[in-house]
Every structure is written in structure tokens, then in C-alpha cells.
Chains A and B, each alone.
Chain A
């Protein structure tokens, strides 16, 4: 009983260690934004939420949105298709789906292209 608990405990810690990513989090983003624009954080957050809302509203209507220097958001419809599923040992009819597409602007692409080349 104890052993199982210990093993589970350490497994969780290892998973934490491995999966810790260093993503720039939403909070950090808002902090930096409010620093740059000079607006208070609450207001910055509201504005960011409004921006996200406007963009996602347009996307849900199937319209594309282009943001200079960042890229273009658009939608794409994946048509219905047949896929073999080994679990059921049968073919599945996967329904059509509309997904978000993002094309980074050429400026962003170039900026980021060779960032971690030294890692190789």
C-alpha cells in the first residue's frame, strides 16, 4: 500500500518535471501589455478579451482576419472522410469539421526562423 503510494507520488513529480513548459502565460502577457500601453491591468485584460472575442466571432462566421506583422487567421473545412480504426476493427465515417488556420506573416517567419539553430 505504502509502496504503491510512493511510486505514484514520484511518478507524478517526474511528470511535473518533464512536462513543465516555459510558456509565456496569459498573466505575464497582460503584465507586459499593461506596462507597454500604460493602461491598468484590468483594462488591458478587458481589451485583450474584446480583441479575442472580435476575432473569434469573425472566425465563427467563416471570415478571415488578418493582423499585420502577426499573420492571418482563417477557417478551413475538412470534408467528411473514411478512416480505419484498429480498435473497432472497422471503418469510421469522420464528420466534416471546420478548423482554424493560421498563416504567420512573412516578417514573423523570418524573425523566428533560425532562433534555436544552435541547439542542433
Chain B
């Protein structure tokens, strides 16, 4: 703030920069100022890209002291013009101190409290003093108005009335604009909601056929099982298994994908071949696995579900010993395939893991 550039110099510079005559640069700036002023009046803020934003801020009525007499006076509520610089300008102005970052002072915490609070108070004082200085500009302008109003024998409000009616008109006008905007926004909103529901309905219709299929598939099984209660469970207590020789490069996951049709069923393989497999993640090549036949990998019957769940449970037990952090996810998978098994685990499970699996 040591040097200040005059308006004349500014006009010359702008004229030079934009290769215009000085008179046109001069009139340009005057028009700009007028438009900023009218913009502040009509919409309350004006934004200039790359520079900043001029805003009106309403200051509430408050009490202050008269700077000379020391009397208490009320400062009426009024608008203040505020300029908020945008990032580009802020960075350009802050170039001398660019790159500095605030650093934490940990050690001095206890010792530093008194001085720091002191500086904080000082800062606060400075700010309030600044505020007061700004405020004190205004009472000079305000009291005369009041005095003239009183000498006229009217209430101050009455004296201001004509201004207010004009202002009210302006406010109403601006209000109308605002309502137009609001109406447009509402219409857009309704359109959005309609679109949203349409899309949702589409997705619903897309989902329904699969559920219908599910319903169609499951009842026949129930019907089949009801007439012959005894033989069916008899068959279903064990899988019909085939032997399968593991080739190099294969894992339980790929075998389950190829042979069973769903890679997520691989724990069944592990459960059936536990005597062969000490580690579910390591599969020795050329070993003979028992592979069950699963009719429909998409719709498992109860027995198959239970077997898969048991497989996941044995995996949970293995992981609890060898990989305790991820074990609970296997317990959760148990619940996915058979909630009954999760409700009554075949052997002891960690209560924390159980809570996690049940609440997930």
C-alpha cells in the first residue's frame, strides 16, 4: 500500500494493454463501475472471472460509542460492500509468501499458552478496533438524517418512506425474478423425479423375471420331496461324486468354476477332500479329488446349500488358525448360504466374528 496508482495511469495502462484509445478505456471503466453498482443493487453480488466477487453484506443494528463524546449510540443496520478475491488473484498477490505452510509446534504447547492467548487477544483487539473505525464512519452520516426528521416533527420512519417505497418496488422486482428462477428449478426437479421413477420402474421390470424363475424352480423341488420324504433325504445325505485328477495350474476355484458351474462353490470341494488338502490355498497337482455333481449351480437345494456353508465353515476354522484377520469373512459367507447354520454353528466360533457375520 506504499504506492498507489492513480486513475489516469490506470487508464493509460489499460489503453496500452488492449490497444485502445484512452477515451474509450476511460468510458469503459466508468461503464464497468456503473454496471457493478447496479448489479450490486439488483442481485446483491457481482462476479468478475479471474478477479473476484463484489458482495453486499447486511450488518445488523448494534450499539456503539460516539468517538468524540463517548455517548452510547445505536448504529442502524446497513449494507456493507465486501470484495472477495478469487484464487488466481489471491495466489498472485501472495507470491512473496507462496509455498509457506503452517507448522505444528508440539513441544511448546504448555509454555506457549499464555503468550499465544495474548497474541490472540491482541489480534482480536486489532480487529475490533478496525471494525470500530469502519463503524464510526457511518454515524457521521446517520445522525443528521435523524435530526432533520425530528425537526420536521415526524417520525424518522416517515421521513424515509419515499425511499423505502422505491426500494420496495425494486425488491419486489428482484423477488419476481427469483420466483421465476425458483419455478424453473421446480419444473426441472419434477422432470428429474419422473425420469428417476421411470428408470427405477425399468430396473424393477428387469428384476422381476428372475424372481419369477426362482419361484417357478423352487416349488417343484418341494413337491418332489413331499411325496417321498424318506428316500430323498437318504439320497441327499451324500453327494454323488466323481473322481477328478488335478492338472498343473488348476486351483479349487477354477475346478469349481469348470466342474460345478459356480466358482463360489469351491469350499464344497475343500470340505469333501479335507483328508487330501491340508491348506485350501495349495492344491498338489495330479491328486485325485472327489467332485460332487450339482444339478443347478444357480439354484442350490437345501442339502447343497448346507454343504457349501459347511465348506465355508471349515475354511473359517482353517483361517482362524492361519489367517485370523480374514477369517470372519468366511463366517459371513456361511450365513449367506445357510443362515440356519450360522445361527447354530457346528463347533465353536469366535463371538466377535459371529457378531460381524450376523450383522453384516
- By a beta-carbon cutoff of 8 Å, the part of chain A in contact with chain B is 2, 6, 9, 13, 16-17, 20-26, 28-29, 32-33, 36-37, 46-56, 58-60, 62-76, 81-85, 88-102, 104, 108-120
A104 to B4, CA, bound (A): 15
Residues from chain A with Cβ under 8 Å of B18 in the complex: 46-47, 50
**Chain B interface main SS type:** helix
Contact status of A118 and B81, CB under 8 A, knowing A68-B33, A93-B105 = no
Name B200's closest neighbour in chain A (CB-CB).
A2
Q: Are B43 and A100 in contact (CB under 8 A)?
A: no
CB of B28 to closest CB in A, whole Å:
6
Interface centre among A29, A96, A110 (most CB of B within 10 A): A29
Name A100's closest neighbour in chain B (CB-CB).
B85
Please pick, from A49, A51, A109, A111, the residue contacting B41 in the complex, using a CB distance under 8 A. A111
Residues from chain B with Cβ under 8 Å of A52 in the complex: 48, 50-51
Please pick, from B14, B24, B102, B105, the residue contacting A95 in the complex, using a CB distance under 8 A. B102
A56 to B5, CA, bound (A): 12
Interface-located stretch among B161-169, B224-232, B260-268, B344-352: B161-169
Q: Are A119 and B177 in contact (CB under 8 A)?
A: no
In the A-B complex, the 4 residue pairs with the closest CB atoms: A102-B83, A95-B100, A24-B39, A104-B81
CB of B46 to closest CB in A, whole Å:
5
Interface-located stretch among B108-116, B243-251, B280-288, B319-327: B108-116
| Size category of the binding interface on chain B | 35 or more
Contact status of A9 and B105, CB under 8 A, knowing A54-B13, A67-B7, A112-B81 = no
CB of A3 to closest CB in B, whole Å:
11
- By a beta-carbon cutoff of 8 Å, the part of chain B in contact with chain A is 1-7, 10, 13-14, 17-18, 20, 24-25, 27-37, 39-53, 56, 58, 76-83, 85, 88-90, 92-97, 100-106, 108-109, 112, 115-116, 119-120, 123, 137-138, 141, 160, 163-164, 167-168, 170-171, 174, 177-178, 181-182, 185, 189, 192, 196, 200
Interface centre among A16, A37, A74, A116 (most CB of B within 10 A): A116
A3 to B90, CA, bound (A): 42
Q: Are B33 and A67 in contact (CB under 8 A)?
A: yes
Residues from chain B with Cβ under 8 Å of A104 in the complex: 80-81, 83
CB of B111 to closest CB in A, whole Å:
10
Name A112's closest neighbour in chain B (CB-CB).
B79
Contact status of A114 and B94, CB under 8 A, knowing A29-B39, A91-B116 = no
CB of A39 to closest CB in B, whole Å:
8
CB of B115 to closest CB in A, whole Å:
8
* 21 A–B contacts, CB within 8 A, in A order: A22-B43, A23-B44, A28-B39, A29-B48, A33-B28, A52-B50, A64-B1, A64-B5, A68-B7, A69-B37, A81-B123, A92-B103, A100-B89, A104-B80, A112-B56, A114-B160, A115-B167, A117-B77, A117-B78, A118-B164, A120-B77
